[in-house]
């Protein structure tokens, strides 16, 4: 089918299906015709060049397959896909990409030299990344064809993919348009259009994307070498490193999920762009299973639980900030108390630092240069209001992180080696200027607190401190019921400092990880510009990953703030700085926990620990006495003396509200000073002495067990 026929069929079908009030353009725009024409011209030259290369350098190469088997192949001719077919048809059908000597590789890209070859399927993390990245190209093609969108960026994520695109300053994407956009995506996948990889020069890149200012900006910022790769797929041509699927037909199920606004950061004024997110799978059956899983996840949505349990709410008069109600504050404080207890046990000192700083501080730390757009800045009142010729006052900014303030605290007086390691912890309120379109419940806020701590240590203390940070993580996540996965992120291309120092630090982190004994991955080039780091991804009860904790080394802040201490030999030495957090944002962790437990909070966190239920009005006084005793002991206790409901109805109401325990008191319990105990899962624990029951609850709360109802 020709270009014009494809464009007309897809665009007109989409417009009719959603009754869009958009003029039906029966021919593709000129920029798309020119772009595709240039790509086809370059592709023809590429095919000719590849054929010539295969003839000139015709030679046998050795390929090591998974399992160690060695086979022969022909350089510039044999592809990974051809070798997968030789192994099994199942592998050829399920492979999404290859790894050739450790580099991810398109299945249809010819091998060039002796190689170690392994295949990636959707079951692997790397395979999912390739699959979802290919899916976002399908979404980009659909957005171009239906909406005339100017494409910005379209990455894969941990849980799917999204694409940002520009529709003009006045145009936004409506929710009613998503089903039609999804339908066009499905037509594109059904067409099994091949992904074609093409290496082009910078001049050719600029010619291909001369009508897309967003791509031109990316080319200027990201393309540092003489060439880069683009991928063609149907009518789409996009700047991309790849790799990709062989063809769109490998996407058996695709669903678009949300649309929102986002902000494209640029040296000029930021542009508002439209973001559409989605999910895809190799088969429709897998998509259906995911949709069922998602229904369960929606029932556990922390925003729904927060509303039903009256934990917190949001208000338009303070966007991006959370109002914690008494019950939510109980959960919040229990988390903070837990971390404070660990701080005491592990030798951390809690400090408090200001919220508002002169931008001079952020210029010293480097945050003003790299992070200014994400900070709230303000001009304080000053003498220039009444005297315009007076010297202007400093611009102030709300702190988005605590580390520069902790550096000031370290530097405020001379330090000795005897004070190290110095571990400073801070629950100070942080503010970050998140785009309105990225805000979502407790997971992304403009105002939040972290269990933020910084360790200033001598270089020879570094390894022991990293081991301590890892043990801190494991201890806390074990109590919270999370499994986790670690990743070592090493030196990025734009790193600061000496390579030898980076090498030494990465070796320290690697030794600590190996001694720690938990599985970990290597993320080459994904470290921060100021030092390598250990990323921590925890997994909740539904198996969803969350980036919460982190351990980061920093060589730059001690240099920028000229931090020094007097060493054992009397000379001044430079400390090493470790940034670390376990919960990360306390607000976000509360949301993760709410969804993981589905609102059935463990006793030590629960805002619904006990409800006392009198059988009749005659027992209400004793019920209040029991309630007061539980509260005096530091437990959360409510009373349900609603005489309009039967006892069984009140017990059931308490269980549906997820009270960990119900203490039922009748005439017998009143006379003996006992309580009859039931759990939220309707386990009947029988009659217990009230004083003994309170003692046992305190014991279970203080030990922070996950199953108090089972082991009471």
The count of residues in the chain is 712
Radius of gyration of the chain, Cα coordinates, nearest whole angstrom: 30
For residue 471, CA distances in Å to 226, 393, 474, 484 come to 46, 46, 5, 13
Angle at 40 between CA 36 and CA 42, to 5 degrees: 115
Q: What is the DSSP pairing of strand 60-64 with strand 115-121?
A: parallel
Sequence-ordered strand ranges (E) for 103-252: 103-105, 115-121, 150-153, 156-157, 160-166, 196-201, 227-233, 236-239
Question: Which of 411, 523, 512 is CA-nearest to residue 471?
Answer: 512
Q: Per the residue annotation, which of 579, 588, 650, 680 is the catalytic one?
A: 579
**137 is a catalytic site residue:** no
The DSSP secondary structure of 30-96, one letter per residue, reads HHHHHHHHHHHHHHHHHHHHHHHHHHHT--EEEEEPTTS-EEEEETTT--HHHHHHHH-HHHHHHEE
Residue 354 tokens, joined: 């200001």
For residue 170, CA distances in Å to 271, 591, 623 come to 11, 34, 62
The DSSP secondary structure of 618-668, one letter per residue, reads GGHHHHHHHHHHHHHTT--EEE---TTS-HHHHHHHHHHTT-SEEEEE-HH
Contact predicate 422/410, CB 8 Å: yes
Q: Would you call 222 exposed, middle or buried from its count of C-beta atoms within 10 A (0-12, 13-18, 19+)?
A: exposed
Contact predicate 523/488, CB 8 Å: yes
Residue 312 tokens, joined: 């917190």
Contact predicate 554/531, CB 8 Å: yes
Q: Kindly report whether the peptide bond that precedes residue 421 is cis, defined as omega within 30 degrees of 0.
A: yes
**385 is a catalytic site residue:** no
Contact predicate 572/565, CB 8 Å: yes
d(CA 424, CA 406): 7
Q: Per the residue annotation, which of 6, 35, 432, 537 is the catalytic one?
A: 432
d(CA 469, CA 453): 10
**452 is a catalytic site residue:** yes
d(CA 201, CA 228): 7
**247 is a catalytic site residue:** no
Residues with Cβ within 8 Å of residue 591, at least 6 apart in sequence: 302, 306, 441, 442, 443
563-579 core/surface letters (b: 16 or more CB in 10 A; e: else): bbbeeeeeeebebbbbb
**454 is a catalytic site residue:** yes
Q: Which helix (H) or strand (E) holds 377?
A: strand 377-378
Q: Kindly report whether the peptide bond that precedes residue 456 is cis, defined as omega within 30 degrees of 0.
A: no
459-493 core/surface letters (b: 16 or more CB in 10 A; e: else): eebbbebbebbbebbbebbebbebebebebbbbee
Residues with Cβ within 8 Å of residue 35, at least 6 apart in sequence: 208, 209, 211, 237
What does the DSSP 8-state code read for residue 270?
P
**504 is a catalytic site residue:** no
Q: What is the DSSP pairing of strand 115-121 with strand 150-153?
A: unpaired
Q: Per the residue annotation, which of 247, 454, 537, 546 is the catalytic one?
A: 454
Q: Per the residue annotation, which of 193, 204, 250, 450 is the catalytic one?
A: 450
Q: Per the residue annotation, which of 35, 533, 580, 588 is the catalytic one?
A: 533
Contact predicate 228/219, CB 8 Å: yes
For the four alpha carbons of 496, 497, 499 and 505, in that order, the dihedral sign comes to: negative
Q: Which helix (H) or strand (E) holds 579?
A: strand 576-585
**450 is a catalytic site residue:** yes
Contact predicate 451/427, CB 8 Å: yes
Question: Catalytic amino acids?
Answer: 403, 432, 450, 452, 454, 533, 579
């Amino acid at each position: 089918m020709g270009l014009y026929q494809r464009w007309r069929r897809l665009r007109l079908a989409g417009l009719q299906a959603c009754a869009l009030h958009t003029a039906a353009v029966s021919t593709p725009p000129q920029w798309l015709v020119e772009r595709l024409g240039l790509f086809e011209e370059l592709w023809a030259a590429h095919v000719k060049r590849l054929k010539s290369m295969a003839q000139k350098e015709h030679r046998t190469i050795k390929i090591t397959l998974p399992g160690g088997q060695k086979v022969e192949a022909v350089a510039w001719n044999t592809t990974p896909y051809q070798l997968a077919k030789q192994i099994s048809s199942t592998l050829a059908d399920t492979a999404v990409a290859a790894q050739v000597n450790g580099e991810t590789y398109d299945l249809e890209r010819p091998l060039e030299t002796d190689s170690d070859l392994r295949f990636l399927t959707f079951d692997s993390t790397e395979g999912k990344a390739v699959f979802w990245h290919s899916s976002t190209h399908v979404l980009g093609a659909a957005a171009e064809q239906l909406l005339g969108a100017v494409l910005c960026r379209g990455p894969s994520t941990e849980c799917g993919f999204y694409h940002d695109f520009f529709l003009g300053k006045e145009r936004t994407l409506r929710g009613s348009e998503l089903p039609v956009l999804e339908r066009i995506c499905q037509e594109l996948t059904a067409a099994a259009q091949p992904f074609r990889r093409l290496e082009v020069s910078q001049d050719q890149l600029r010619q291909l994307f001369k009508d897309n200012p967003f791509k031109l900006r990316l080319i200027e910022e990201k393309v540092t070498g003489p060439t880069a790769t683009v991928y063609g797929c149907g009518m789409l041509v996009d700047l991309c490193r790849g790799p990709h699927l062989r063809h769109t037909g490998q996407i058996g199920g695709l669903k678009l999920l949300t649309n929102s606004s986002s902000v494209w950061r640029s040296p000029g004024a930021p542009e508002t762009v439209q973001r559409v997110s989605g999910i895809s799978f190799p088969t429709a059956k897998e998509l259906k299973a995911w949709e069922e899983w998602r229904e369960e996840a929606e029932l556990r949505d922390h925003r729904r639980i927060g509303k039903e349990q009256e934990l917190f709410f949001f208000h338009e008069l303070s966007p991006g900030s959370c109002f914690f109600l008494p019950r939510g504050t109980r959960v919040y404080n229990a988390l903070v108390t837990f971390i404070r207890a660990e701080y005491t046990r592990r030798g951390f000192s809690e400090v408090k630092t200001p919220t508002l700083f002169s931008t001079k501080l952020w210029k010293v730390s480097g945050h003003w240069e790299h992070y200014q757009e994400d900070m709230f800045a303000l001009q304080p009142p000053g003498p220039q209001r009444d005297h315009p010729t007076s010297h202007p006052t400093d611009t102030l900014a709300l702190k988005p992180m605590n580390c520069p303030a902790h550096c000031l605290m370290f530097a405020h007086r001379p330090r000795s080696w005897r004070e190290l390691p110095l571990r400073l912890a801070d629950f100070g309120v942080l503010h970050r200027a998140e785009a309105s379109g990225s805000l979502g419940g407790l997971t992304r806020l403009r105002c939040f607190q972290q269990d933020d701590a910084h360790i200033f240590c001598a270089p020879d203390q570094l390894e022991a401190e990293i081991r301590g940070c890892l043990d801190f993580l494991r201890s806390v996540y074990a109590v919270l019921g999370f499994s986790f996965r670690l990743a070592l992120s090493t030196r990025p291309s734009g790193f600061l400092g000496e390579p030898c120092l980076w090498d030494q630090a990465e070796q320290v982190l690697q030794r600590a990880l190996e001694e720690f004994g938990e599985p970990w991955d290597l993320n080459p080039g994904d470290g921060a510009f100021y030092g390598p780091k250990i990323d921590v991804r925890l997994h909740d009860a539904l198996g969803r990953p969350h980036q919460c904790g982190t351990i980061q080394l920093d060589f730059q802040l001690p240099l920028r703030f000229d931090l020094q201490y007097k060493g054992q030999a009397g000379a001044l030495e430079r400390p090493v700085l470790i940034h670390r957090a376990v919960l990360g944002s306390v607000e976000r962790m509360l949301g993760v926990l709410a969804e993981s437990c589905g609102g059935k909070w463990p006793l030590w966190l629960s805002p619904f620990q006990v409800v006392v239920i009198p059988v009749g009005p005659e027992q209400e006084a004793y019920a209040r006495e029991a309630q007061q005793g539980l509260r005096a002991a530091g437990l959360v206790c409510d009373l349900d003396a609603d005489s309009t409901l039967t006892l069984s109805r009140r017990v059931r109401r308490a269980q549906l509200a997820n009270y960990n325990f119900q203490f039922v008191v009748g005439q017998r319990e009143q006379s003996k000073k006992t309580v009859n105990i039931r759990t939220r899962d309707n386990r009947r624990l029988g009659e217990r002495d009230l004083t003994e029951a309170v003692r046992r609850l305190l014991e279970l709360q203080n030990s922070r067990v996950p199953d108090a109802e089972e082991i009471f």
